[in-house]
C-alpha cells in the first residue's frame, strides 16, 4: 500500500476566523451607522424647511407697518421719566418681533447660557446683550387675544426645537417719537378751536390754545375771541342747545377778524387766498388754524336750518378749499413744525420727523458716549438728549402734560396745574448739536447696504427637554417695555403687545404653576407674575411639563440655516 | 489520515462568536430597517412639506386659490362677481396727494354722525352742508373724484379691494348724491379704524374661512394628504397672509402642519396678473 502524501487540508485557525468575524462585524456596523446619518440628514432637511418658513415670517412681520403702535405711545413729563417706547418701539427687528403676538419669544437666559453652538455663536450673542429666541407656540396673525382665537392653527412640534438669533451689530435706531411728546398728533381739518368745552369731542382739549400761548403766536386776543365765539355757539350743555344763526355768524366774523389780524391776504369777503409761494414754501401753523376756523364756520352756515344764502354757499366752498390748501402746504413741507396736529385727512410720510438719541457729543471725533451731553431730571434720572434732522419749530407742550393738566403724584396731594405744561422739559430735551453735523445726527447720512445687513441664524436644539424648561424665569426685559415711568406711576396700555414681558400670555400666574395669564398683569399686584418669575408654558399645551435633562447638562445646538437681511433704522412698511 | 475535529472549547467559542455575530447583525438589521423606515417617512413628509411650502409661496404670489387662473371659464370664478375682490374694475389710478381732486372734503371733526340712522341723517347737516363740498356725482370733477372712486371701488371689489386700492391715507366715508339730502356713507374712518379688531377678508367671509387647495385630490387612500390653506385679511391696518401647509397621515389621521405668515403679491398685483383693471385715465407726470 502506497502512502500518498495528501495535500494539506488545514482550515482556518480559530484566530483567523475570529479576526475575519471582527472585520466583517466592523464593516457591517459601519454601514449600519450610516443609516442614522441619513436620518439626521432628513431631520436637518425638516428643520431647514421650518427655518425657511420662520425666516419668511419674521421678515414679513418686520416689513409690516404696525400702526397700532402709533396708538399706544406714551409720554413722559421729562426726558428721562418715561423710557417706554424708546426701545420697545424701535424698528430693530429683535424688538419689533419680540412680543407675544409676533412670533419671537426670548429663551430664558438660564437655559440659553447652557447651549453651545459652533464658534460659540449663541454665547457671543448673549454676551453682546442679545437674546436667543424661540418660536411662539401661537401663530403670528396680529389678532387680539380674547377677540379672536387662532387655536385651530397649529405650530409643528419640530419648530419648538428651533432657536434663532440675530447676529451682527444692531444699529442705533430712530426714535419712534419724542419721549415727552408722542408726535405726531392727529386731528381732522378744518376744525374749530380745540377747547375743553366742545361736546362729543374726545380729542384732548386746549391744544390750539396751548400752542398759541406757549409758542408765542401773534394775535392771541383775536384767537381767544374766536374760541369764545365758538363756545358760545356750541355751549357745553347736554342736551345740546340748538345752534343759532346769530351765534354762528358771530363765530364766523371773529374768525375773519383773526385772519385779518394775521395779515393773511384775503378777498373782499375776508376769505384768505391760497398760501403764497410754491409747494415747498412753509406756512405758519397758526394761519392754517385761522383759515380752518373760517372755513368751518362758513360751512356751518350752510346748514339748512340756519337759512344760508346762495352767496354763503359759494363762500363756504371757497373758504373750505383754501383752508385745505393751507393745510396741505403745512403737512407736506416741514415735519419739524409741531405747532398744530397733523391732518388725519392728509396723512403722509412728513408726519414722522426723524429723531435719534445724541449718543456722542457734537462735533467731537473720538468722543466716548460717556462724554455725551446727558440730561438729568430732578429726580436723578438721566437720559441722552434728542437730535433732529432740523430744528423743531413750535414744540409746545404735550397732550399728557398740557397747560391745564394736573399732575398728581401717587400717593400725595394733587399738584397745581402747570402753567406751561412740559414745554420747558421738551425744550431742554434737545441736544447741543449743530444742525447738519453728520457726526452726531446720522439718520440721513449716506450708507452702504452692507452696513445695515445682519444675519438671522437658526439652530436646532431640544432645549425644551430640560427639567426647568417651563419653570425657568422669563428672560429679563429692558425697562423700556415696562409701562411705568421712573417715578413708579402706573401708566396705560398695559395690554399693548409691544410692552410687557413678551411671554406674558404663556407665563404661569402663580407659584403652583397651574394657571396662565389671560390678561397682562399690572405689575403692581405681583411683580413675580409680571416678570415671569414662575416660568411659562413654553410649548403652549397649557400644562406644566418637566423634561428629563437636568440643568447641569449642556446641550449642543446644531446650526440649521443662515439668512442675510436688511435691518432698517427707521420705521418703514411694505404697504399702507 | 489525520481526522482531528474541533475541540469542545473551539466549538463553544465558534458557536458563541457566531451567535454574537448573528445577533449583532440581526439587531443592526432591525435598527437599520427601522431607520430606513423612519428616514423614508421623514423623507416623504419633507417632500410633501416642501412641496406644500413651495405651493404656499406660489399662492402668495399668484392668488390662484382665490381666483383660479387655470379655470376654463374664469369669468365664472366666485370672486369675479360684482362686489368681490376679482371683479373687473375701471378706475382712475391717480394716487398723488398733491392733486387736489384726491383730497377728502368731508366732515371729520365732529364724530357724532354715526348714532342711530335717524339721528345720523339729521346730524349729517348739523355742521353744514358738506355734501356741496364733495359728493358722488358732483358736477365739478374736483368734488366728485374722491367719492366716485371710493364708491366705485367699494361696490365693485368690496372692503378688501377698497382698502387695497385706495391710498394709505384714505378716509372711508363719502356723501351720496342719490339720497336726500346728502347721506353720508359710513363713519369717517381711516384704515386703522376701518380694520380695528375686525379683519377685513378677501372673500368677505370670516378670517377663518380662507381658501385652500388639495394638492393630491386623486391620491390613493393609503397615501398621505397634502393641503395648503391661505388666509388673507387686513386687521389693525396690517395685511396678513397666513399660510398653512397640512400633511395628514392616512393611518392615524394625524396632521403635520406648517403655518407661517408671508408676503407676496398684493390684491392689486394679483389683479394685474389677470388684466382685470382698466384705467380710465393715465396720468404722466
Residue found by looking up cell 448573528 in the block = B22
Q: What is the mean pLDDT of residues A54-64?
A: 86
Cell digits of residue B247: 400633511
Give the pLDDT confidence score for residue A111 in this predicted structure: 97
Residue found by looking up cell 436688511 in the block = A566
Nearest CA in chain B to A10: B2
Cell digits of residue A568: 432698517
Q: What is the distance between the alpha carbons of residues A307 and A319, in angstroms, rounded to a whole number?
A: 19
Q: What is the mean pLDDT of residues A43-51?
A: 93
Q: What is the distance between the alpha carbons of residues A556 and A468, in angstroms, rounded to a whole number?
A: 17
Q: How confident is the model at residue A201 (pLDDT cuts 50, 70, 90)?
A: very low
Using a CB–CB cutoff of 8 Å, tell me whether A39 touches chain B: yes
Using a CB–CB cutoff of 8 Å, tell me whether B23 touches chain A: no
- CA proximity to A482, closest of A454, A430, A521: A521
Cell digits of residue A452: 445695515
Q: What is the distance between the alpha carbons of residues A466 and A470, in angstroms, rounded to a whole number?
A: 8
- CA proximity to A138, closest of A124, A148, A128: A148
- CA proximity to A132, closest of A466, A430, A475, A411: A475
Q: What is the mean pLDDT of residues B39-65?
A: 92
Within 8 A by CB and 6+ apart from B6, the residues are: B14
Which of B38, B238, B262 lies at the smallest CB-CB distance from A56?
B262
Q: What is the pLDDT of residues A511-528, one digit of tens each?
A: 999 988 877 777 667 788
Percent of chain B with pLDDT over 90: 28
> Regarding predicted confidence, which is higher, B197 or B11?
B11
Q: Has residue B134 got a pLDDT over 60?
A: yes
Which of A60, A96, A248, A324 should we substitute to test contact with B (largest number of B Cβ atoms within 10 Å)? Answer: A60
Q: Has residue A204 got a pLDDT over 50?
A: no
Which of B46, B49, B240 lies at the smallest CB-CB distance from A141?
B240
Looking at A64-120, list the stretches that DSSP marks H as alpha helix, in order from N- to C-terminal side.
67-70, 93-96, 109-112
Phi, psi angle pair for A123, to nearest 5°:
-65, -35
Q: What is the pLDDT of residues A541-565, one digit of tens each?
A: 888 999 999 999 999 999 999 999 9
Provide the β-strand partners of residue B211.
Answer: B230
Q: Write the Ramachandran bin of B212: left for phi over 0, alpha for psi from -120 to 50, otherwise beta.
A: beta
- CA proximity to B97, closest of A416, A348, A464: A348
With an 8 Å Cβ cutoff, are B237 and A67 in contact? yes
**Three-state DSSP class for residue A371:** helix
Q: Has residue A202 got a pLDDT over 50?
A: no
Q: Alpha-carbon Rg of chain B, whole angstroms?
A: 32
> Regarding predicted confidence, which is higher, B149 or A205?
B149
Within 8 A by CB and 6+ apart from B125, the residues are: A303, A304, A305, B181, B182
Using a CB–CB cutoff of 8 Å, tell me whether B259 touches chain A: yes
What is the DSSP code (8-state) at residue A536?
B
Q: Has residue A349 got a pLDDT over 90?
A: no
Percent of chain A with pLDDT over 90: 39
B278 close to B89: Cβ distance less than 8 angstroms: yes
Name the strand (E) or helix (H) holding A566: strand A558-566
Q: What is the mean pLDDT of residues A221-247?
A: 84
Q: What is the distance between the alpha carbons of residues A455 and A59, in angstroms, rounded to a whole number?
A: 12
Q: How confident is the model at residue A393 (pLDDT cuts 50, 70, 90)?
A: very high
Cα angle vertex A279, ends A274, A283, to 5°?
A: 60
Which of B109, B199, B236 lies at the smallest CB-CB distance from A68?
B236
- CA proximity to A499, closest of A130, A144, A95: A95
> Regarding predicted confidence, which is higher, A443 or A379?
A443
The neighbour count for residue B2, using CB atoms within 10 Å, is 6
Q: Alpha-carbon Rg of chain A, whole angstroms?
A: 33
Q: What's the mean pLDDT when you consider all of chain A?
A: 82
Highest mean pLDDT among A198-202, A317-321, A430-434, B24-28: A317-321
A479 close to A74: Cβ distance less than 8 angstroms: no
Q: Chain A contacts of B46, Cβ < 8 Å? A: 42, 45-46, 49
Give the CA diameter of chain B.
131
Q: What is the mean pLDDT of residues B252-258?
A: 83
Q: Has residue A25 got a pLDDT over 80?
A: no
Nearest CA in chain B to A7: B1
Using a CB–CB cutoff of 8 Å, tell me whether B255 touches chain A: yes
With an 8 Å Cβ cutoff, are A36 and B168 in contact? no
Give the pLDDT confidence score for residue A564 in this predicted structure: 94
Provide the β-strand partners of residue B260.
Answer: B243
Q: What is the distance between the alpha carbons of residues A121 and A269, in angstroms, rounded to a whole number?
A: 73
Q: What is the pLDDT of residues A461-470, one digit of tens each?
A: 999 999 999 9
Q: What is the mean pLDDT of residues A129-144?
A: 78
Peptide bond just before A184 cis, omega within 30 deg = yes
Cell digits of residue A265: 391776504
Residue found by looking up cell 356741496 in the block = B132
Give the pLDDT confidence score for residue B30 in this predicted structure: 86
Amino acid at each position: 500500500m502506497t502512502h500518498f502524501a495528501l495535500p494539506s487540508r488545514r482550515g482556518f485557525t480559530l484566530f483567523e476566523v475570529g479576526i475575519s468575524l471582527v472585520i466583517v462585524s466592523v464593516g457591517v456596523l459601519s454601514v449600519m451607522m450610516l443609516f442614522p446619518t441619513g436620518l439626521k440628514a432628513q431631520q436637518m432637511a425638516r428643520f431647514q424647511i421650518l427655518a425657511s418658513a420662520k425666516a419668511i415670517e419674521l421678515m414679513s412681520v418686520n416689513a409690516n407697518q404696525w400702526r397700532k403702535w402709533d396708538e399706544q405711545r406714551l409720554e413722559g413729563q421729562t426726558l428721562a421719566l418715561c423710557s417706554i417706547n424708546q426701545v420697545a418701539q424701535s424698528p430693530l427687528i429683535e424688538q419689533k418681533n419680540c412680543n407675544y403676538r409676533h412670533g419671537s419669544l426670548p429663551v430664558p437666559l438660564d437655559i440659553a447660557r447652557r447651549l453651545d453652538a459652533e464658534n460659540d455663536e449663541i454665547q457671543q450673542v448673549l454676551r453682546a446683550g442679545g437674546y436667543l429666541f424661540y418660536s411662539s407656540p401661537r401663530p403670528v396673525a396680529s389678532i387680539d387675544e380674547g377677540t379672536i382665537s387662532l387655536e385651530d392653527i397649529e405650530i409643528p412640534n419640530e419648530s419648538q426645537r428651533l432657536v434663532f438669533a440675530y447676529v451682527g451689530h444692531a444699529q442705533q435706531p430712530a426714535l419712534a417719537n419724542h419721549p415727552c411728546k408722542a408726535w405726531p398728533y392727529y386731528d381732522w381739518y378744518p376744525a374749530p378751536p380745540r377747547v375743553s368745552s366742545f361736546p362729543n369731542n374726545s380729542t384732548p382739549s386746549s391744544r390750539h390754545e396751548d400752542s398759541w400761548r406757549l409758542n408765542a403766536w401773534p394775535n392771541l386776543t383775536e384767537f381767544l375771541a374766536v374760541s369764545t365765539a365758538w363756545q358760545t355757539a356750541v355751549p357745553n350743555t347736554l342736551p345740546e342747545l340748538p345752534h343759532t344763526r346769530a351765534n354762528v355768524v358771530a363765530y364766523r366774523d371773529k374768525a375773519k377778524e383773526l385772519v385779518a389780524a394775521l395779515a393773511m391776504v384775503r378777498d373782499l369777503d375776508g376769505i384768505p387766498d391760497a398760501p403764497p409761494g410754491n409747494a415747498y414754501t412753509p406756512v405758519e401753523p397758526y394761519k392754517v388754524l385761522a383759515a380752518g376756523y373760517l372755513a368751518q364756520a362758513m360751512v356751518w352756515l350752510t346748514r339748512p336750518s340756519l337759512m344760508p344764502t346762495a352767496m354763503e354757499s359759494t363762500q363756504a366752498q371757497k373758504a373750505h378749499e383754501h383752508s385745505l390748501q393751507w393745510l396741505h402746504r403745512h403737512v407736506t413741507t416741514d415735519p419739524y413744525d409741531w405747532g398744530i396736529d397733523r391732518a388725519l385727512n392728509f396723512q403722509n410720510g412728513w408726519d414722522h420727523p426723524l429723531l435719534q438719541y445724541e449718543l456722542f457729543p457734537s462735533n467731537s471725533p473720538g468722543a466716548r458716549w460717556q462724554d455725551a451731553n446727558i440730561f438729568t431730571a430732578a429726580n436723578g434720572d438721566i437720559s441722552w438728549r434728542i437730535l433732529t434732522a432740523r430744528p423743531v419749530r413750535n414744540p409746545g407742550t404735550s397732550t399728557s402734560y398740557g397747560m391745564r393738566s394736573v399732575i398728581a403724584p401717587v400717593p400725595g396731594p394733587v399738584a397745581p396745574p402747570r402753567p406751561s405744561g412740559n414745554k420747558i422739559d421738551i425744550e431742554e430735551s434737545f441736544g447741543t448739536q449743530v444742525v447738519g453735523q453728520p457726526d452726531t445726527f446720522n439718520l440721513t447720512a449716506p450708507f452702504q447696504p452692507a452696513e445695515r445687513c445682519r444675519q438671522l441664524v437658526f439652530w436646532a436644539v431640544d432645549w425644551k427637554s430640560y427639567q426647568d424648561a417651563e419653570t425657568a424665569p422669563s428672560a429679563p426685559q429692558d425697562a423700556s417695555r415696562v409701562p411705568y415711568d421712573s417715578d413708579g406711576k402706573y401708566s396705560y396700555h398695559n395690554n399693548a403687545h409691544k410692552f410687557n414681558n413678551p411671554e406674558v400670555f404663556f407665563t404661569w400666574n402663580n407659584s403652583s404653576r397651574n394657571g396662565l395669564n389671560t390678561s397682562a398683569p399690572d405689575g403692581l399686584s405681583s411683580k413675580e407674575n409680571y416678570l415671569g418669575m414662575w416660568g411659562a408654558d413654553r410649548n403652549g399645551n397649557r400644562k406644566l411639563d418637566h423634561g428629563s435633562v437636568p440643568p447641569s447638562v449642556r446641550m449642543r445646538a446644531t446650526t440649521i440655516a443662515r439668512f442675510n437681511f436688511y435691518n432698517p433704522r427707521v420705521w418703514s412698511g411694505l404697504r399702507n | 489520515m489525520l481526522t482531528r475535529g474541533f475541540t469542545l472549547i473551539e466549538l463553544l467559542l465558534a458557536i458563541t462568536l457566531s451567535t454574537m455575530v448573528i445577533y449583532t447583525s440581526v439587531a443592526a438589521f432591525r435598527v437599520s430597517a427601522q431607520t430606513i423606515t423612519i428616514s423614508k417617512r421623514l423623507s416623504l413628509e419633507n417632500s410633501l412639506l416642501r412641496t406644500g411650502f413651495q405651493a404656499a409661496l406660489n399662492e402668495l404670489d399668484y392668488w390662484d386659490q382665490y381666483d383660479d387662473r387655470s379655470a376654463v371659464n374664469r369669468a365664472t370664478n366666485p370672486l369675479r362677481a360684482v362686489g368681490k375682490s376679482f371683479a373687473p374694475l375701471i378706475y382712475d389710478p391717480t394716487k398723488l396727494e398733491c392733486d387736489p381732486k384726491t383730497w377728502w372734503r368731508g366732515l371729520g371733526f365732529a364724530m357724532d354722525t354715526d348714532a342711530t340712522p335717524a339721528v345720523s341723517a339729521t346730524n349729517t347737516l348739523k355742521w353744514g352742508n358738506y355734501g356741496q363740498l364733495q359728493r358722488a356725482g358732483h358736477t365739478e370733477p374736483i368734488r366728485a373724484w374722491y367719492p366716485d372712486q371710493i364708491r366705485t371701488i367699494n361696490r365693485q371689489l368690496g372692503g378688501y379691494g377698497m382698502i387695497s386700492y385706495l391710498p394709505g391715507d384714505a378716509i372711508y366715508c363719502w356723501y351720496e348724491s342719490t339720497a336726500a339730502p346728502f347721506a353720508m356713507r359710513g363713519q369717517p374712518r381711516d384704515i386703522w379704524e376701518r380694520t380695528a379688531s375686525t379683519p377685513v377678508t378677501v372673500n368677505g367671509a370670516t378670517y377663518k374661512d380662507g381658501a385652500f387647495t388639495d394638492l393630491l385630490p386623486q391620491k390613493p387612500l393609503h397615501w398621505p394628504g397634502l393641503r395648503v390653506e391661505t388666509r388673507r385679511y387686513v386687521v389693525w391696518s396690517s395685511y396678513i397672509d397666513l399660510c398653512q401647509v397640512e400633511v395628514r397621515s392616512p393611518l392615524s389621521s394625524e396632521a403635520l402642519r406648517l403655518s407661517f405668515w408671508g408676503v407676496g403679491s398684493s390684491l392689486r398685483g394679483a389683479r394685474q396678473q389677470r388684466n382685470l383693471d382698466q384705467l380710465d385715465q393715465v396720468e404722466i407726470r
